[in-house]
Every structure is written in structure tokens, then in C-alpha cells.
Amino acid sequence: MTASLTPLASAFVASIRRPTASLPEPEQLEALLHSTVEHARTRWPGIALESVHFVQYLAERLPAEAPIAEALDAASSIEELFLAFACLRHDRIALHAFEDRFLREVGAFISGVDRSPTFVAEVRQQLREKLFTGSEPKIAEFAGRGALGGWVRVAALRIALNLKRSEARADAGAQDSVEATLGAELGPELDHLRSRYREAFAAAVSDALGQLSDRDRTLLRLYHLDSLSLDAIAALYRVHLSTISRWLSRAREQVEETTTRQLCEQLGVGESSVHSIADLVVSQVSLSLTRLLGKGR
């Protein structure tokens, strides 16, 4: 069947980031995509989007591990991706719907930081600008892996916490280099590690952070960089305090283990040195996380 008879399927296949052998037949995929788009239109009536453009956007964001039919059947995720894409295209109705459904809740999202009307208004405005303006609007980063409301909540909270920091501290943090991770303040007992392994250590921690899941990196940022309490993070994710504690512990352990392994491999140290390096790594990871997590914010 030609592309002219299956325009949605053809656009989807051209944009998808997975082996095409696992895809349904073009006719079946066309019907599935058509149904998906129409369902999303029903959820957000009045939004004007070209179906072909949306399925291209959708194809780039569907989880590679999930079967296509199953991924397209996740109604709430598809609906929210449809709204996000429409906002990215500056559709007036979509922007109004986003404002009414999510931005109006900013005060509740950041109530633990500052609930004053002026502060809430400033956070809401900055959130609008980050999400919908500039050469790289942040709304484009929403991939539908979680609820859009939770994603917006985290974004609002981070803006609020940033506003509460002093400008001087924010500027200093933004200018810190990765190499400063092992600064002079770490003490004379680390002179050997600092002088010989400074660059390798910084690179290993940075790489270890890159191997974490999006959720784990966000958790570490909220705790180490934004200084959010475990109770506040638990409320944010709507899980028990012990769950957050467990997630954070596992994330830190992963960073520590990955950093130690990479250092030992890169530096070619013998087995007798592994435990000494591991002890030094564990003792310095907390000092490193704040600086490394703050880069590229």
C-alpha cells in the first residue's frame, strides 16, 4: 500500500526510533493512529493540529520497550502529549486549556516554598516563559512517561526554589566547573587523590549521574541541590516517606558504585587499592553532587 493511502503510518514510521520490523502492518497502523488522534481531539475539542505532524511528534516520544499498540492505547499519556504538542505549536485553545488545568495550580504546587500572591505570580510567569517561549521551549521535553501535572509540578517547584536562592549563590553555582568538584576545601588527606585523580573523579561522577534514570536524577537534584526535605519530596511524588528514602539511597549507591568502578578501570589500580578509592569516593560524592547536578540547569 502506498504512502498516499497510509499517510499517518508513513509519517509515523519515518520518525519512530525503534526497529521497524516490530511495527504493525501499514493498514493496521494507519487505523490505530487515526483512532488515537481522533480520541485525543475528542479530549481537547477545538485544538487545530495536522494529524501527520502530531504522529511524527508522537513517534519520537513513545517508549521503545513498549509494543506500539500498547503504547498508543495509553489514553491519558496520548491526550497529554496532544495538548503539549499543541502548546508547542502555540495553539490558542491549547494554551488556554493548559493555563486552566495546570498553571492555575502553581500556588498549590509551591505552597511549601512561598504562598504569597506576588511570589506565586512570578513563578507562574517564569514557568510560562520556560515552557512556551525561546528557541527550545521546555514543553518539548515532556515525553509522556508520567503525568503532565506531576511534570509541571516539579518544574514549578524548581523555579520557586531557584527564586528563593540568593542571586550571588546562583551565579557562583552556575560558574562552577566540573573540575572544582575536588576543591581545596576537601582537606590534606585527599591531596593525593586531588592532585592525581581530580579530572578522572569528576568525569566518573558526571558519567555516573548520566546513567541514572530521569526520576533518580530529579530526586537527587531536589534533595542535594534544592535542599528539599524528604517529607516535601514524598508529598511531591505522592508516596510514603520511606519510599523516597529508599529511592534516594539506591540512587546514591548507584552513583557511588559506578564512580568507583570507573575510577578503578580508568586508573588501572590493583585490587588492593579498590577499597581505599571506594572509601574516598563515598566520602566525596555528596560534595560533588550539588555542583555536578547544578550544571546545565
Say what the pLDDT of residue 66 is: 65
Residue 185, pLDDT > 70, answer: no
Q: Does the residue 70 lie in any domain?
A: yes
Say what the pLDDT of residue 187 is: 47
Range of the domain at 51: 1-89
For 47-166, where are the alpha helices, taking DSSP H only? Answer: 51-59, 68-72, 75-88, 92-101, 106-109, 117-132, 148-164
The more confident residue out of 180 and 227 is 227
The more confident residue out of 193 and 262 is 262
Residue 269, pLDDT > 80, answer: no
Say what the pLDDT of residue 285 is: 57
* Together in a domain, 193 and 288: yes
Taking the C-alpha atoms of residue 254 and residue 207, their distance in angstroms, rounded to an integer, is: 11
* Together in a domain, 182 and 290: yes
Residue 240, pLDDT > 60, answer: yes
Is residue 13 helix, strand or coil? helix
Q: What is the pLDDT confidence band of residue 210, given thresholds at 50, 70 and 90?
A: confident
Across 15-24, 163-172, 219-228, 232-241, least confident range: 163-172
Q: Find all residues with CB under 8 Å of 212, minimum gap 6, and list them.
A: 220, 251, 254, 255
Query: What beta strand segments (E) does the chain contain?
Result: none
Residue 98, pLDDT > 90, answer: yes
What's the mean pLDDT in 105-115?
A: 88
Neighbours of 43 (CB within 10 A): 15
Q: Does the residue 290 lie in any domain?
A: yes
Residue 183, pLDDT > 50, answer: no
Is residue 212 helix, strand or coil? coil
Long-range contacts of 268-271 (CB under 8 A, 24+ apart): none
**C-alpha dihedral, 29 to 75 to 63 to 206, nearest 10°:** 160
Q: In Å, what is the CA distance from 92 to each residue of 15, 48, 49, 132, 262?
A: 26, 9, 11, 12, 50
Question: Which grid cell sits at 260?
Answer: 568507583
- Listed ranges 93-107, 116-130, 235-249; the one with the highest mean pLDDT: 93-107
Question: Which grid cell sits at 53?
Answer: 505532524
Q: Does the residue 257 lie in any domain?
A: yes
Q: Does the residue 157 lie in any domain?
A: yes
* Together in a domain, 128 and 63: no
Q: To the nearest whole number, what is the mean pLDDT of the chain? A: 76
Domain boundary among 164, 194, 211: 164
| Closest CA relative to residue 60, chosen from 143, 148, 139 | 143
Q: Does the residue 68 lie in any domain?
A: yes
Say what the pLDDT of residue 189 is: 44
Taking the C-alpha atoms of residue 149 and residue 184, their distance in angstroms, rounded to an integer, is: 42
The more confident residue out of 70 and 272 is 70
The predicted model scores a pTM of: 0.56
Q: Does the residue 169 lie in any domain?
A: no
Q: What is the pLDDT confidence band of residue 173, given thresholds at 50, 70 and 90?
A: very low
What's the mean pLDDT in 148-154?
A: 92
Taking the C-alpha atoms of residue 98 and residue 149, their distance in angstroms, rounded to an integer, is: 10
Residue 23 CB burial class (10 angstroms; 0-12, 13-18, ≥19): middle
pLDDT in tens, 10-52: 888 887 766 655 677 878 888 888 888 898 899 999 998 888 9
The more confident residue out of 21 and 112 is 112
Q: Does the residue 75 lie in any domain?
A: yes
Task: Tell the residue number behind the cell numbers 521546555, with chain if given.
Answer: 138
| Closest CA relative to residue 156, chosen from 93, 107, 201, 226 | 107
- How many folded domains does the chain comprise? 3
* Together in a domain, 31 and 129: no
Say what the pLDDT of residue 5 is: 66
